[in-house]
Amino acid sequence: MSAPTLDPQATGATTQPGEHNLAVLAERAFERHGDYEALCFEGQWHTSGSIHERAARVAGGLRRIGVEVGDRVVVLMMNTPEVFVTYRAVWRAGAVVTPVLFLQSPPELRHILTDSGARAVVVTPELLPLLQSAAEGLDLEVLVVGEEDEPTPGTRPYAELETADPLPIEPRADDDLAALLYTGGTTGRAKGVMLSHRGLWESGAGIDAVARTMDSTRSLLPLPLSHAYGLIVVVGGMHADRRGVSVLQRWFDAKGWLELVQEHRLESSPVVPSMLTMLLAEPLDDYDLSCLQSFGSGGAPLPAALREEVEGRLGVVILEGYGCTESSAVISASTMDARRPGSVGRPLPHAEVAILDPTGQPVPVGEDGEICVRGPGVMLGYWNEPELTAQTVVDGWLHTGDIGHLDDDGYLYVVDRVKDLIIRGGFNVFPRDVEDALLTHPEVTSAACVGRPDPASGEEVVAVVSVQPGSTLSGEDLVTYAKGRLAAYKYPREVVVVDAVPLTSVGKTDRKAVRALVRG
């Protein structure tokens, strides 16, 4: 049986009403909770009623300027309340949310605009020059959020959309396209991942189920809402049966994060591990963080040493989860009543996980293999890439490219990426093993390990680390340190000390940049 593919040009056609329309989910959330102060951004509170009403009117405005069912609407903004409004408005109009991280280069952004066939772009004034550079000659409706010193020719003010009459919810089928997220830009041309209404609905329900195990309703959101992790946190909040209060950070900065937790007595926050590293570098004792109960960690592997230090110093619980853009962001998650150190939790109800060998056969419990998942959260396919879709989704199973195993109780452990595996002298070396060993050194703050071509061993193990300010650690010191903690074939033969380990725009280790660094 071949993997399912979807003709992007056909995604605007709804064959039958679906039960999992995200606009309906948002409507039910408002009906359930009523109007209350739900979102705080830079000192200003926004009520659930104002967000709901604005979304209905913006949906009408989108229709008025020609955005039709199935059209792609690019959202190019830093975190603002208008991101929430726009997502809900786009879904209400039956169109497709296409979130784009603002750190894109003009060529990368132009590829997304042209590849997606975007009909409109919602943008903030500070990002307008980037958009103009990338969109020259393209036929786009450009909607500018917020005040401009002078109106830019060829654009419309976002506020103009809000003068329209509220638009009724456009019916959508469960497998209709809801979001088109571009991923993979650090290793080549970004691919559009097609996510359905039901897929995002089910993944959001899974995130909400995890949240229900925590006795917290006040959360700080530092994640970029344009990333899959941030998007699914938004959808998860629409499932909540309790009135939740969120404080939104425009972009993560550690000092601002700590100030907001203290000011608003916040109890939880979804983060990526690099954020935790930056928090530990701050004078934590200067802040009253006694309200803080838990972190949800995802987006990248969480080193054991980092988890232990954060939990020890802050007295919190870290709930680690796992997923990828192609799985509608989430596959498994730990909960307050079911977690194991080193595990990313059990698969959530919507995700069936199998660990397969290179021939596609299941491996025994406890043995490493490729993590594969099937269920409603699996992407509809890659936009305009049927061959790549067929290689990635086989007989309904999404091949994640991650290596891991399940234990006897069904807890999932992620070891590494298949493509990051280092083969040294015929032995497999997982970069994460090397990184975790280096991170046990009290003066090492972050680490990244890659393979470097070597004529004798095929690949040599090389690491890049950053250290605490004032540290005199040398690369040679860390080679010796690692040698005492890793097998002879695993320890790095070279460690390079740098000011900061390269990260991608969403806080993951940028292995492409690390490889360029160590290969000269």
pTM: 0.84
Percent of the chain with pLDDT over 70: 95
Q: For residue 22, what pLDDT is reported?
A: 97
Q: For residue 11, what pLDDT is reported?
A: 30
Smallest CA-to-CA distance from 195 within 204, 206, 184, 207 is with 204
- Where in the chain are the domains? 47-194, 421-519
Confidence of residue 94 (pLDDT cuts 50, 70, 90): very high
Q: What separation in angstroms does the CA of 389 have from each of 6, 8, 108, 383?
A: 9, 13, 21, 9
Q: For residue 356, what pLDDT is reported?
A: 96
Cα separation, 461 vs 350, whole angstroms: 38
Long-range contact pairs involving 479-488 (C-beta distance under 8 Å, separation at least 24): 481/438, 481/441, 482/434, 482/437, 482/438, 485/437, 485/440, 486/433, 486/434, 486/437
* The CATH number fitting domain 421-519, selected from 3.50.50.60, 3.40.50.880, 3.90.550.10, 3.30.300.30: 3.30.300.30
Q: What is the mean pLDDT of residues 112-130?
A: 96
pLDDT over 80 at 219, yes or no? yes
pLDDT over 60 at 6, yes or no? no
Cα separation, 67 vs 145, whole angstroms: 17
Q: For residue 148, what pLDDT is reported?
A: 67
pLDDT over 80 at 187, yes or no? no
Q: What is the mean pLDDT of residues 293-302?
A: 89
Q: Angle 304-314/431-439 helices, nearest 10 degrees?
A: 40
Smallest CA-to-CA distance from 373 within 391, 357, 356 is with 356
Question: What are the tens digits of pLDDT across the range 308-356?
Answer: 999 999 999 999 999 999 999 999 999 998 999 899 999 999 999 999 9
Q: For residue 520, what pLDDT is reported?
A: 66
Q: What is the mean pLDDT of residues 201-230?
A: 91
For 16-20, 39-43, 317-321, 383-387, which range has the lowest pLDDT when averaged over its residues? 16-20
Residue of 373 and 183 predicted with greater confidence: 373
Cα separation, 193 vs 188, whole angstroms: 15
Confidence of residue 443 (pLDDT cuts 50, 70, 90): very high
Q: For residue 167, what pLDDT is reported?
A: 97
Architecture of the domain defined by 47-194: 3-Layer(aba) Sandwich (3.40)
Q: For residue 14, what pLDDT is reported?
A: 36
Confidence of residue 48 (pLDDT cuts 50, 70, 90): very high
pLDDT over 60 at 229, yes or no? yes
Q: What is the mean pLDDT of residues 159-180?
A: 97
Q: For residue 518, what pLDDT is reported?
A: 87
Residue of 58 and 515 predicted with greater confidence: 58
Residue of 460 and 519 predicted with greater confidence: 460
pLDDT over 70 at 64, yes or no? yes
Q: Which residues is 428 bridged to in the sheet?
A: 423
The tokens for 378 are 């699996």
pLDDT over 60 at 40, yes or no? yes
